[in-house]
Structure 1
Amino acid sequence: MAIATETLRIGVLGVGRIGRMHAELLERQVPGAAVSVVYDAYEPVAREVAARLGVLAAETAEELIAAPEVDAVAICTPTGFHVDQIIAAAQAGKAVFCEKPVSLDLATLDRALTVVASTGVPFQIGFNRRFDPAHAAVAAAVADGTVGEPHIARITSRDPDPPPLEYARSSGGLFLDMTIHDFDMARYVVGSEIEEVYARAAVRVDPAIAGVGDVDTAVITLVHENGCLTTIDNSRRARYGYDQRVEVFGSEGMAASGNPLGHTATVSTATGTSSATLPYFFLERYIPSYLREWQAFVHAVSTGVPPAVGPRDARAPLVAGLAAWMSVREGRPVKTAEVTA
C-alpha cells in the first residue's frame, strides 16, 4: 500500500523528549516529509511545539488521527497508549510509525498487529539503531558473507545514568525498555532469529531499583536459529558516557562497530595519551540514525515497499524480553517458543 503524495504529512502523537526530537527532524531535515499536526496530553507542550514548527495542535489523539492533513501517524506516546493508537490509525488508513516497544504484553501487541495486517497500512517500529551506519556495516558484512558463517556476537549497551524510578515502575524494566534494542540488534546483525534466552541480572547501581521490581545490570546469552551465540551486557550507569558496541565473529573474519568520540583530537605526553570522552546522551550518538530511519519510512510509504523494520520486528524483541524476565525468575535458559506457546 503506497500513499501517493509529494510530501508525506505526518501527525506526531506525543511531543515529549523523543516525540519533539522526531517532530523537529521531520519538519527540518527529512526530504519528502513534513509535520502537519501534533498532539500531547500536556496541552502547553503541544502548543509550544506546534508554535515553534508552525503547525496545528490537535486537542485529542483521535482528532489528530482523523485529520485530513495527516497521511501518517508517528506514535511517540507512553507505551500503554500504543496499541489503541496503532489500531485507530490503521483503521483510518494512515501509515504508522511507532516507538518501541509497542506493548509490554504479547497478546495485546498481537491485537494491534492483526489490525495492521488486515488494513494493509505501512507499519514501522522505531528500532533506530539498525540505521546507525556503523552497526549497519556490521550487519552487511554478515549478510554478504564477508565474515563467513557467524559464530559469536557480542553486544555492549550501557547508559550513562539510570532512568527516574517513576519511569522504571511502568517501563517493563531493563529487558523491555533497554535490552529490547539489543535483542533487535542481535537479530539484525546475526541475521537469524533468537531461539533461546538465558539471563542473569542484579542490582549493582542503585538499590532503589530493586524496590520497583527492576534490575540495573545484566548479562544475557542468546542462541540463534543458525547456531550463533550472542552475549549482551547491560548496565544502567557507565561513568564514562554512552557505550554502544557490536561485534560479530565468523568463520572468515570479524566485523565490529565502536563508539564515536566527542571529537578526534588526541593529546600525547610523557605521561600518556588522552582523547575526548564518549557522547553522554543517546541523542548525541544517534541523531544520524534517526534521520536515516525516517528517510527509510518516507521511502517505504511513498513507494509501497514494506518498511524494513516491520511487524515481525515489533514482536520478536518483545518475545526475547519476556523470555529474559522468565529466565531471571526461574534461573534457567528459556526457549522463545515457551513465551509464544
Structure 2
Amino acid sequence: MTRLAVLGCGRIGQMHARNIARHSRTTLGAVFDVHRPAAEAIAAETGARITDTADEIFSNPDIDGVVISTSTDTHVTMIEAGVAAGKPMLCEKPIDLDLDRVNACAHLLSKGEVPVMLGFVRRFDPSHGAVRSAIANGDVGELHQVVITSRDPDLAPEAYLKVSGGIFRDMTIHDFDMARFILNEEIDTVFASGSRLVAPDLMDRLDDFDTVSIIMTTASGKQCVIGNSRRSVYGYDQRVEAFGSNGMASSENRKPHAMVLSGGGFSGKAAPCLDFFIERYNDAFNAEIDAFADVVEHGAPPPVSFEDGRQAQRLAEAALKSATGHRPVKMKEID
C-alpha cells in the first residue's frame, strides 16, 4: 500500500483524505493543517495521524507521497520542501498567484528528480476523456472548434474570493487546462471579456469579474471558446464540445438520475445538474488518486505535469491582461 499524507484539511483536503483512506491502493498516513481542529476532524474520521508541522510529514520516511491542498500562497513553499525531501507530490491548482514565482519553481524542478503532479482533475473525467479520444481517433475529422462551458452554482464566500486571485486564476484556470487537453495544441492568441452581472457591488470592491467569455486561437487557426459564470441557478454546469469537419463530440452535464418526466402540457422535465465539483467529479477525483499512486509506486510520469499547471497559469494571465486592456493578447507577451 502506498502511504500518502495530506497537507491542508479544508474542503478539498478533506475530500482527498477520504478518497485516499478508501482507495484500494493507498493508505492515509498523516494529515496536517495550520488550523488543528480541521486536521483533528478528518483524522478522527479516517484514523490518520496528525502532525504539528508540514516538515514532520516531509521528513517522515514512512510517507511515500504528499498531497498539497493548503492555501494557494503556500503551494510553492510546500513544493520546495517536498523537492528537498525527495517526496512525490500532487499539488492543487493554481501553483501560485504570481507567475514569476511559478517560473522560479519550474526552474527548481527542471532537473526532474522529484515528480510533481498538478490537480487538474477534469482530465480524469471519463466523458471529457472520451471527447479527447474521439478527436484522436478521427471521429470528428479535422478539429475546428472547442467550446467549454463552466458555471458554478453560486458565488464563493467573499473571504475566499478576496484571496482567490480573481476568476481567471481561480475558476477559468481549469478551463484553460481543459482547452490545452482537448486541443492538444498550444494557444497563440487570447481575447477575453469580463463583466460584473451576478454581484456587481461585490465585484467592484474586489476589482474582479463574475461573468467572462474567452476566445482563444492556436497558430493553426483552431478556436476555443470558454464561457464562465459564478452563478448557475440550475446547478453545476460543465460541458465540453469538440466540433470538426466530420462531426461533433460532446461531454454533457451529470445529474442525480437520468429520469425525464413528461405530462400534460410539458415534456422533458429533468433533475437539475449535480450541485458542485466534488459531486460532479467524484469519479475523476478517485481516478486522480489512482494515477498519483502510479507516479509514487512505479515512477510513472505525472499525467498532469507542473508545466501543464504553468501553461494554464500563463493563459490566466493573458486573459486578465486582455480583459482589462480590451485587446487580444499574444502568448509571447506572457513570460
For residue 3 of structure 1, what is the aligned residue in structure 2? none
| Matching of residue 300 in structure 1 with residue 289 in structure 2 | no
Of 79, 83, 88 in structure 2, the residue corresponding to residue 90 of structure 1 is: 83
Alignment deviations for residues 277-325 of structure 1 (CA, whole Å, 9 cap, x no partner): 1111211111100011111111122222211100221111100000001
| Amino acid paired to 2:50 | A
> What does residue range 1-341 of structure 1 map to in structure 2 within 5 Å?
7-28=1-22, 30-118=23-111, 120-207=113-200, 208-273=202-267, 274-340=269-335
Q: Shift of the alpha carbon at 1:119?
A: 5.4
Taking the aligned partners of 2:233 and 2:48, their CA distance within structure 1 comes to 40
Partner SS, residue 48 of structure 1:
helix
Deviates most, 107-116 or 251-260: 107-116
Alignment deviations for residues 121-179 of structure 1 (CA, whole Å, 9 cap, x no partner): 12110000011100000011112222122101100000010111111111110000000
Partner SS, residue 302 of structure 2:
coil
Alignment deviations for residues 183-203 of structure 1 (CA, whole Å, 9 cap, x no partner): 000110111111111000000
Taking the aligned partners of 1:32 and 1:184, their CA distance within structure 2 comes to 27
- Quick one: percent identity of the two aligned structures? 43
| Amino acid paired to 1:74 | V
Whether the 8 Å contact between 1:125 and 1:309 is mirrored in structure 2 is yes
Taking the aligned partners of 2:145 and 2:283, their CA distance within structure 1 comes to 28
| Amino acid paired to 1:315 | R
Partner SS, residue 111 of structure 2:
helix
Taking the aligned partners of 1:159 and 1:17, their CA distance within structure 2 comes to 16
- What are structure 1's unaligned runs of at least 5 residues? 1-6
| Amino acid paired to 2:28 | V
Partner SS, residue 205 of structure 2:
helix
| Amino acid paired to 2:51 | A
Whether the 8 Å contact between 2:64 and 2:296 is mirrored in structure 1 is no
- What are structure 2's unaligned runs of at least 5 residues? none
Alignment deviations for residues 10-44 of structure 1 (CA, whole Å, 9 cap, x no partner): 1100011000000000111x222111010001011
| Amino acid paired to 1:118 | K
Alignment deviations for residues 223-255 of structure 1 (CA, whole Å, 9 cap, x no partner): 123321011010000101100000010122111
Taking the aligned partners of 1:184 and 1:119, their CA distance within structure 2 comes to 21
For residue 4 of structure 1, what is the aligned residue in structure 2? none
Taking the aligned partners of 1:294 and 1:196, their CA distance within structure 2 comes to 34
Q: Shift of the alpha carbon at 1:222?
A: 0.3
Taking the aligned partners of 1:237 and 1:257, their CA distance within structure 2 comes to 20
Partner SS, residue 63 of structure 2:
coil
Taking the aligned partners of 2:217 and 2:27, their CA distance within structure 1 comes to 42
Partner SS, residue 136 of structure 1:
helix
Alignment deviations for residues 100-135 of structure 1 (CA, whole Å, 9 cap, x no partner): 001111121122222233351121100000111000
Taking the aligned partners of 2:290 and 2:156, their CA distance within structure 1 comes to 29
Taking the aligned partners of 1:62 and 1:318, their CA distance within structure 2 comes to 27
Taking the aligned partners of 2:203 and 2:292, their CA distance within structure 1 comes to 36
Q: Shift of the alpha carbon at 1:270?
A: 1.9
Deviates most, 301-310 or 88-97: 301-310
| Amino acid paired to 1:320 | L
Taking the aligned partners of 2:285 and 2:122, their CA distance within structure 1 comes to 8
Taking the aligned partners of 1:113 and 1:36, their CA distance within structure 2 comes to 28
Aligned residue pairs: how many? 333
Taking the aligned partners of 1:159 and 1:91, their CA distance within structure 2 comes to 37
| Amino acid paired to 2:303 | A
Alignment deviations for residues 68-105 of structure 1 (CA, whole Å, 9 cap, x no partner): 22111100001000001001011101001000001111
